[in-house]
Structure 1
Amino acid sequence: MIFSMTGYSRAQISESGYSVTVDMKSLNGRTLDVLFRFPKGFMYLESEARSIVRKHLRRGRIECVVTVDVEDPKLKAPPIQPDVFLFYWNQITDLARSIPNSSFPTLSDVLRIPYIYDHSKDEKQQELFSELLLRAVNEAVEKLVTMRLEEGSILEKACRNHLETIESIVESIEKRRDEVVADLRTKIFERMREILKEFSIDPDEEKIIQEVAFLAEKSDITEELVRLKGHISHFRKLLNADEAVDGRQLDFLVQEMHREATTLGNKSADLEISVKVVDLKAEIARLREQVQNIE
Structure 2
Amino acid sequence: MDRLTEVTTPDGLVLDVTDTGPLDGTPVVLLHGFPERATSWRLVAPLLHERGLRTFAVDQRGYAPRARPRGRRAYRLKNLADDAGAVVAAVRAATGQPVHVAGHDWGAAVAWAVAARPGLVASLTALSVPHPAAFVRSFTRSDQARRSWYMGFFQLPRVPEALARSAGGPLESLLARTGMTTPELARFRAEVVETGALTGALGWYRALPLAPPRVGRVRVPTTMVWSDGDDAIGRAAAEGCEDFVVGEYELVVLGGVTHWIPTQAPEAAAEAIAARVRGDLETQTDEEQQ
TM-score between both structures, scaled by the size of structure 2: 0.21
